[in-house]
Amino acid sequence: MENTTDTLTRAVIDSIRRMAAHHGLWLAGAIDKFGIEKALEMEKEAGDKATAILVDRLCATLGSGKDDNGLPRALSELGADKLAKLLEAMAVNWLALDGVWFQAVESRAGMAAAKAVNDGCWASFSPLEAERIKALKDLPDEGGLQALAASFFHRMYGVINEQKVFFEPDGALVMQMTKCRVQNARQRKGLPDYPCKSAGVVEYSTFATTLDKRIECECIACPPDPHPSDYFCAWRFRIKEETGHSQEKDGARPA
């Protein structure tokens, strides 16, 4: 095969796809054999090493070098505005990937099968995302509801959806998804809400307990539940205690 600019460009893009799949397959295999907690420990070790290797090799290959913080200069020199747009584009691409996988399974095996695969995916991805945010933001293992409140805005969804996060008078934390790309798109097409409650219960409960094992999650409303017009789904979080009350005090606010 002739190495033209076109074929090489396609090959580079496809190599990213293969690396992502290979990393995911290793993680899935580790989860299956060792369970989610040990698998995430392994992902942190392997992922940290792999990231350092990838950054070094890309910087050397592209000749861009690193900035004073050890980050690829080709990225950091883009500036905050372009980097924010790039991060948003990556998050939208992530959501598109989720959607096309759902459609691929649904078209072959039906909605129930697609929802089952989707729920299983969230059972692994949500803890992984929580661990990555903990590492990136240097959060403690028991950061409580304050850490959880801040973490929502660093999720992939936090980049592309709109959320309202607040503390109730008794100290419980509430997150409302006020704008959702998936549900808003369905509204524009005249379709009913996608019934995402089963995935949401898995997603939010595992995300919260990975950040802090003491946190419990309650679904306030999530499709197919009826919900008010100002949000699509809402979730309440508390610190587990023998008294049943949160350790977070009145008047607390997200960090």
Tell whether 19 is covered by a domain. Answer: yes
Tell whether 32 is covered by a domain. Answer: yes
Domain edge (last residue) among 12, 46, 77? 77
Tell whether 174 is covered by a domain. Answer: yes
Tell whether 115 is covered by a domain. Answer: no
Annotate 105-125 with DSSP letters as a single string.
Answer: HHHHH-HHHHHHHHHHHHHHH
Tell whether 86 is covered by a domain. Answer: no
At 1 the pLDDT is 56
Q: Residues 10, 73: one domain? A: yes
Q: Which two tokens stand for residue 132?
A: 């990555």
CA angle 247, 251, 253 (to 5 degrees): 85
Q: Residues 159, 225: one domain? A: yes
Q: Are 200 and 115 in contact (CB under 8 A)?
A: no
Which pTM value belongs to this model? Answer: 0.89
At 244 the pLDDT is 46
Residue 199 has pLDDT above 50, yes or no: yes
Tell whether 88 is covered by a domain. Answer: no
Q: Which two tokens stand for residue 138?
A: 């240097």
Cα(153)–Cα(133) distance, rounded to whole angstroms? 10
**How does strand 173-179 pair with strand 162-167?**
antiparallel
What's the structural domain count of the chain? Answer: 2
Cα(120)–Cα(27) distance, rounded to whole angstroms? 13
Per-residue pLDDT of 15-41, as tens digits, reads 999 999 999 999 999 999 999 999 999
Cα(239)–Cα(172) distance, rounded to whole angstroms? 8
The residue among 183, 234, 184 whose CA lies nearest residue 204 is 234
Cα(36)–Cα(43) distance, rounded to whole angstroms? 10
164-185: buried (b, 16+ CB within 10 Å) or exposed (e) per residue? ebebeeebbbbbbbeebbbbee
Helix (H, G, I), strand (E, B) or coil at 77: coil
Q: Residues 250, 137: one domain? A: yes
Q: Is the peptide bond before 127 cis (omega within 30 degrees of 0)?
A: no
Q: Residues 73, 129: one domain? A: no
Q: Residues 133, 66: one domain? A: no
Q: Which two tokens stand for residue 99?
A: 């959607």
Residue 105 has pLDDT above 60, yes or no: yes
Tell whether 170 is covered by a domain. Answer: yes
Give the CATH number, domain containing residue 230: 3.30.1380
If you ran DSSP here, which 8-state letter would residue 6 be given? H
Which residue segment(s) compose the domain that 251 sits in? 122-255
When pLDDT is cut at 50, 70 and 90, the band that residue 141 belongs to is confident
Per-residue pLDDT of 43-60, as tens digits, reads 999 999 999 999 999 999
Cα(222)–Cα(181) distance, rounded to whole angstroms? 15
Cα(208)–Cα(129) distance, rounded to whole angstroms? 11
Domain edge (last residue) among 77, 108, 143? 77
